[in-house]
């Protein structure tokens, strides 16, 4: 009968790989947010002003 025990190094290796993957995912996520923040999106130069008449307003009681 053979024992199916895993040596300690394999158990530690699995947890190290998991930690490395999670850290890499966080780095990619924060790098993506950082790069999106650096992009200069155009903003509207013309102020949009629209008047609403009283006929369109609905009063709730």
> How would you write the pLDDT of the chain (61 residues) with one tens digit per residue?
666 776 666 656 668 888 899 999 999 999 999 999 998 888 778 887 777 776 666 777 6
Nearest to 9 by CA among 17, 21, 42, 1: 17
**Amino acid 32: pLDDT:** 95
The answer to whether residue 37 is domain-embedded is yes
The answer to whether residue 1 is domain-embedded is no
Structure tokens belonging to residue 52 = 């609403």
Give the structural domain span for 39.
8-56
The answer to whether residue 3 is domain-embedded is no
The answer to whether residue 61 is domain-embedded is no
The answer to whether residue 2 is domain-embedded is no
The answer to whether residue 22 is domain-embedded is yes
Specify the DSSP class assigned to residue 46.
Answer: S
Q: How many domains does the chain have?
A: 1
């Amino acid at each position: 009968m053979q024992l199916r025990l895993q040596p300690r190094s394999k158990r530690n290796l699995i947890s190290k790989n998991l930690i490395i993957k999670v850290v890499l995912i966080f780095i990619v996520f924060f790098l993506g947010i950082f790069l999106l923040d650096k992009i200069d999106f155009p903003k509207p130069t013309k102020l949009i002003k629209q008047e609403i008449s009283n006929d369109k307003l609905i009063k709730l009681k």
